[in-house]
Copies of this chain bind each other. A is one copy, B any other.
Amino acid sequence: MASHADEPNVDAIVETLVYLYTESRRLTKAKAREFGLTGPQLTVIKMLDQLGKLSLSSLSSRIQARNSTVTGIIDRMEREGWVQRERSTKDRRIVLIKLTDQGKKLAGEIEVEPMEIFRDGLASLPTDDLSELFRILGVLQAHVRKAVKDSPDV
């Protein structure tokens, strides 16, 4: 029910956003490769290094992926010996993920951030632009969150 094609900028903005996301992800992946990691694996290992043990679910929501996706990622990381699954004693449904010693060592050697190129771009912006961007994206996020909530997921 949206009326499109009334504001030509919209198409350009969407295109730019997709470009920024896709290309940043590609460059991150290429960097991660140098450490024998994939993109998502880099994100996970950094996150565990900073936050310690995390349940699979909280890991999923933090990296914006579904549990079924993260199960696979952790499977492969466990196979490589970087992480370890551990059943929570309080709630035996919960699987906690933690870095192994080898995983911690690897995490320490990595000097790359996920979406690093995009971050660098942001860092080069004047503070005012950063604030504006933060504000506007916030509005957009609220809009999308509402749409997600109202969508037929129930």
Q: Chain A: residues with CB nearer than 8 A to chain B?
A: 2-4, 6-7, 9-10, 12-14, 16-24, 27, 30, 64, 113-125, 127, 129-134, 136-141, 143-144, 147-148, 151
Contacts and interface: CB of A to CB of B under 8 A. Distances in A.
Contacts of A125: 136, 139-140
25 contacts: A4-B113, A4-B123, A6-B123, A7-B127, A7-B130, A10-B119, A10-B122, A16-B134, A16-B141, A17-B118, A18-B64, A18-B115, A19-B64, A22-B64, A23-B64, A24-B144, A27-B148, A118-B140, A118-B144, A120-B143, A121-B139, A121-B140, A122-B140, A132-B132, A133-B133
A144 to B, nearest CB: 5
A23 B148 contact: yes
Contact of A2 (B2, B119, B139): B119
Contacts of A144: 19-20, 23-24, 117-118, 121
A101 B108 CA distance: 57
Kindly report how many copies of this chain are found in the complex they form together: 2
A21 to B, nearest CB: 5
